[in-house]
């Protein structure tokens, strides 16, 4: 029996959350997997909390806004505390279709990697996002190759599967804002195997991306710096 | 006594008094007050002892004593700002930890409540 915790970090996702949870409930996974869903409410200003309370989920209700990294880490801490075998991070806006989870688990079973990333770019299908964002992702691909020596295409993807080792590490240290590319450097320095598997992502149903054009320059600078410091920091 | 001397003495003594009062009222922690007290003390000293500044300037090889004052005070302000950023980073880290612990504890409390609920 394998216990999987699905971590859904939410900031103002009241509209898309019920649909996502019911999709997850209808999900067919191999017998040996036992799925629990955990919603992390990152101090939303809408009714996300009330909506999540009515659903059949574990609700981690943060008293202050910690940002995506802090929210995901809360979920990882819960997973560690309750001895889950796997944890999956998934966006609350419906960008990551629950059906794609099967591909992630298949990739995990096949490779035994500690971290599986759901990637938009290995096979080009589904929602590919805007030109500027793709440019940024190309830059991060190059940067990741430089810092980790691995070719990871979709380093900003927030659709990820953590095994026990990755849960343990992530619960101890996880960056606060824009955590995805930086955490790859961190995990890869710690010697974890990272694998990427193609998934199809859909256009956002509602809510706002944590990366908006207005702040994208800051995003690039901050992430580049964070990756650099993660690279030279002793694990 | 020069007019500027009188002004600096009044200003620095008033500042010293302000820092004292804030520590007494508990609005400023002692560890942060040390640096303020120290530098106000230096300010007061040099306000009274006008030859002192000239002496120190000569010692450092600075022509104008004013330049020495500016250089040193800007440098100290920068170092102190860095220190404050470190403090803010530490507080943020602790704040995050507390928020997470609290959220996880809320779940435990809910669980316990369910368990002890009378049938």
With CA atoms as reference, the chain A residue closest to B111 would be A58
d(CA B103, nearest CA chain A) in Å: 5
- Calpha distance A63→B107 (Å, rounded): 13
Taking an 8 Å Cβ-Cβ cutoff, which residues of chain B contact chain A? 92, 95-96, 99-100, 102-104, 106-107
CB A158 within 8 A of CB A180: yes
The pLDDT of residue A69: 93
Q: Of A184, A199, A200, give the one whose Cα is nearest residue A141.
A: A184
Q: Report which of residues A132 and A176 the model is more confident about.
A: A176
**In terms of Cα–Cα distance, which of A98, A95, A118, A132 is closest to A208?**
A95
Chain-centroid distance, C-alpha A155: 10
pLDDT at B47: 82
For the cut 80, the answer to whether the pLDDT of residue A90 exceeds it is yes
Distance in angstroms (rounded) separating the CA atoms of residues B48 and A110: 79
The token pair that represents A85 in the structure block:
């075998």
At residue B64 the predicted structure's pLDDT band, cuts being 50, 70 and 90, is: confident
What pLDDT band is residue B78 in, cutting at 50, 70 and 90? very high
Q: How far apart are CA A9 and CA A42, in angstroms?
A: 7
Per-position DSSP letters for chain A, written without gaps between them = -EEEEEEEEESS-TTTHHHHHHHHHT----TTEEEEEEEEE-S-SSSHHHHHHHSSSEEEE-SS--HHHHHHHHHHHHHHHTT-SEEEE--TTS-S-GGGHHHHHHHHHHH--SEEEEESTTTT-S----HHHHHHHHHHHHHHHHHHSS--S-TT---EEE-HHHHHHHHH---SSSHHHHHHHHHHHTT--EEEEE-------SS--S--GGGHHHHHHHHHHHHHHHHHS--
Give yes or no for a contact between A78 and B107, defined as CB atoms under 8 angstroms apart.
yes
Inform me whether the pLDDT recorded for A226 exceeds 70. yes
Give residue A129's region: left, alpha or beta (phi > 0; psi -120 to 50): left
Measuring CA to CA, which residue among A110, A40, A115, A108 is closest to residue A72?
A: A40
Do strands A33-41 and A86-89 pair parallel, antiparallel, or not at all (unpaired)? unpaired
Nearest residue, CB atoms, B96 vs list A58, A66, A78:
A66
- pLDDT at residue A212, rounded to an integer: 59
**Strands A58-61 and A86-89, bridge-based pairing:** unpaired
Mean pLDDT of chain A: 86
Contact residues, chain A, for B113 at CB < 8 Å: none
CB pairs under 8 A between A and B: 34
- CA of B13 vs chain A CAs: smallest distance (Å): 41
pLDDT score for B91? 95
Task: Please tell me which residue of chain B has the smallest CA distance to A57.
Answer: B107
Contact criterion met (CB < 8 Å) for A77 and B99: no
Of A60, A66, A70, the CB nearest to B104: A60
Residues in A closer than 8 angstroms to B107, CB to CB, are: 58-60, 78
CB of B107 within 8 A of CB of A59?
yes
For residue B104, the chain A residues in CB contact (below 8 A) are: 60, 74, 77-78, 81
d(CA A82, CA A90): 19
Per-residue model confidence as pLDDT tens digits over A157-177? 889 999 999 999 999 999 888
Is the CB of A63 less than 8 angstroms away from the CB of B95?
Answer: no
Average pLDDT of the residues of chain B: 88
Report CB contact under 8 Å: B103, A62.
yes
| pLDDT band per the 50, 70, 90 thresholds, residue A120 | confident
CA distance A49 to chain B (A): 13
At residue A97, the pLDDT reads 87
* pLDDT number for residue A209: 58
ipTM above 0.90, yes or no: no
> How far away is chain B from the Cα of A40, in angstroms, using its nearest Cα?
9
Report the candidate in A182, A175, A184, A211 with the shortest Cα–Cα distance to residue A93: A211
Higher pLDDT, A40 or B117: A40
**Contacts of residue A59 in chain B, CB cutoff 8 Å?**
107
Please list every residue in chain A whose beta carbon sits closer than 8 Å to the beta carbon of residue B102.
Answer: 63
> What's the pLDDT at B51?
85
Q: Rank A118-127, A140-149, A150-159, B106-115 by mean pLDDT and report only the highest.
A: B106-115
Nearest in space to B39 (alpha carbons), one of B3, B79, B7, B4: B79
Distance between A177 CA and the closest CA of chain B, angstroms: 12
The residue that leads in pLDDT, A128 or A38, is A38
Gap from A21 CA to chain B (nearest CA, Å): 19
Q: What is the CATH number of domain A2-232?
A: 3.90.550.10
Asked if the Cβ–Cβ distance from A62 to B100 is below 8 Å, we say yes
């Amino acid at each position: 029996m394998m216990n999987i915790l699905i971590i859904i970090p939410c900031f103002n996702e009241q509209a898309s959350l019920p649909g996502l949870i019911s999709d997850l409930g209808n999900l067919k996974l191999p017998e040996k997997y036992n799925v629990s869903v955990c919603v992390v409410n990152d101090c939303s200003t809408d009714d996300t909390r009330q909506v999540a309370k009515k659903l059949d989920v574990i609700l981690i209700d943060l008293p202050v806004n910690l940002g995506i990294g802090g929210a995901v880490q809360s979920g990882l801490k819960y997973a560690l505390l309750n001895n889950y075998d796997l944890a999956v991070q998934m966006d609350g806006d419906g960008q990551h279709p629950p059906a794609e989870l099967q591909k992630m688990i298949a990739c995990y079973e096949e490779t035994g990697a500690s971290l599986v990333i759901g990637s938009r770019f290995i096979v080009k299908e589904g929602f590919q996002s805007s030109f500027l964002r793709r440019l940024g992702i190309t830059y991060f691909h190059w940067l990741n190759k430089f810092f980790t020596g691995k070719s990871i295409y979709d380093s900003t993807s927030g659709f990820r599967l953590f095994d026990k080792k990755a849960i343990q590490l992530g619960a101890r240290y996880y960056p606060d804002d824009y955590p995805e590319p930086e955490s790859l450097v961190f995990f890869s320095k710690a010697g974890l195997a990272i694998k990427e598997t193609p998934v199809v992502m859909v256009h956002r149903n509602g809510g706002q991306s944590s990366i908006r054009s207005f702040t994208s320059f800051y995003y690039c600078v901050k992430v580049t710096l964070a990756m650099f410091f993660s690279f030279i920091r002793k694990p | 006594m020069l007019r500027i001397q009188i002004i600096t003495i009044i200003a620095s003594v008033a500042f010293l008094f302000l820092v004292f009062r804030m520590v007494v009222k508990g609005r400023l922690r002692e560890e942060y007050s040390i640096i303020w007290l120290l530098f106000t003390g230096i300010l007061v000293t040099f306000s009274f002892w006008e030859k002192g500044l000239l002496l120190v300037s000569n010692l450092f090889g600075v022509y104008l004593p004013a330049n020495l004052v500016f250089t040193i005070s800007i440098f100290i302000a920068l170092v102190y700002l860095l220190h404050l950023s470190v403090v803010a980073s530490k507080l943020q880290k602790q704040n995050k930890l507390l928020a997470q612990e609290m959220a996880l504890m809320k779940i435990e409390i809910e669980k316990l409540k369910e368990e002890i609920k009378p049938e």
